[in-house]
Amino acid sequence: MWLSKRKFLLGALVLGLGACGFTPVYGPQGTGNRLLGRIALEAPKTPNDYAFNARFEERMGRASSGPYLLSVKKTVDQQDLGSTSTGNTTRYRLLGRASYSLTDAGTKAVLIEGQTDGFTGYSTTGSTVATLAAERAAEQRLMVILADQVIDKLILQATDLPE
């Protein structure tokens, strides 16, 4: 009995989404296809730029030139999060912010701009080499988080872009 109610509710939800004009973002009329392979990124200058660009191109495709250019300014701040009774820090939190602007490659007009925030952390309880590796891995995770959020925001606002 419980399973049949669940199937009914799921079916009603699917029908309700179809009736309200819901379109999958990567479907035939979805706004995600409008951006795939059409956004060129600035060349990476730092390891964080490289990690951000790699994730962005993994999801959106590579475009060495296209109708859009994405400029992203990334900042990363580090906070002490945990410490021992002797005052040694054992955990750090990385707070990241990506301020972005999508411009028309031809006219240089800003089409979409915004910012997004994310955080991640790492432990310092291992050796110096392990701590440095954990810090780098945390920075890479943070860049993936920021890239995913920028992509999501661009896709949501893609309906406002000129054809």
Provide mean pLDDT across the span 36-59. 94
Kindly write down the DSSP assignment for every residue of 25-55, as one continuous string: TTSTT-GGGGTTT-EEEPPP-SHHHHHHHHH
* Domain span holding position 19: 1-34
The tens digit of pLDDT for each residue in 115-148 reads 999 999 999 988 899 999 999 999 999 999 999 9
**Higher model confidence: residue 125 or residue 53?**
53
41: CATH = 3.30.160.150
| Eight-class DSSP state of 43 | P
The tens digit of pLDDT for each residue in 55-114 reads 999 999 988 777 999 999 999 999 988 878 787 888 999 999 999 999 998 899 999 999
Based on the domain organization, do 22 and 80 belong to the same domain? no
> What is the rounded distance in angstroms from the CA atom of residue 161 to the CA atom of residue 105?
13
Based on the domain organization, do 1 and 44 belong to the same domain? no
Based on the domain organization, do 43 and 28 belong to the same domain? no
Using left for φ > 0, alpha for ψ between -120 and 50, and beta otherwise, residue 115 falls in beta
pTM for the complete prediction?
Answer: 0.81
